[in-house]
Every structure is written in structure tokens, then in C-alpha cells.
Amino acid sequence: MTQKNRINFYWLILIALTLFATFIAEAATPSNLTVLLVCFIISIKGRFVIDEFMGLREAIPVIRYTIHSYFIILPIFIALTIIFPEILAGLTTIK
């Protein structure tokens, strides 16, 4: 696959994942499964952008894995915040 075809392929995948996540988030009633699915899609999209568009596939592993961890940790925090808002509010409230 040529470089141009590869970029176009991943661009189409990113568009499809974005449309799919938007459809899920807007069409379904909010549930834990919906939140987890959208957060999973965020992680996959981040991985594609890092590897294919930022060119970090061949980068130093420490840099690559640090940026990859951002797209793992951030969706986890988003999911926890949406699924357990009362618990997090209790933990962060000054008493």
C-alpha cells in the first residue's frame, strides 16, 4: 500500500469511528455500556493518530508509549467521572 493510500485508509477509518461514536452517543440513552464504548473508540482513534498521522510509529519507545498512555488514561478518567459521579464528588469535596 502506498503512503497516500495508507493515509487515506486511516483517515476513512477515523471518520467512520467518529460517526459511529457520535451515532451511539446521540441515539442511545446514556448508559455505562455507551460510555465505555465511546471511550474505547477514543482510545483507538488516538492510537491511529499517534502512529499514522503524528509519525510516532518509529519514535523512541518512551515517547511513543507516553503519548499512547494519554489515550488510555484519559478515557478511563472520563468513564469513571461519568459512571461514578457521586463517589468522585465525595472524594474531592472538602469537608
* pTM score: 0.83
Q: What is the pLDDT of residues 37-90, one digit of tens each?
A: 999 999 999 999 998 888 888 889 999 999 999 999 999 999 999 999 999 889
Q: In which domain, by residue range, is 86 found?
A: 3-92
Q: What is the pLDDT of residue 26?
A: 87
Q: Are 71 and 77 in contact (CB under 8 A)?
A: no
The number of folded domains in the chain is 1
- The C-alpha cell of 16 is what? 467512520
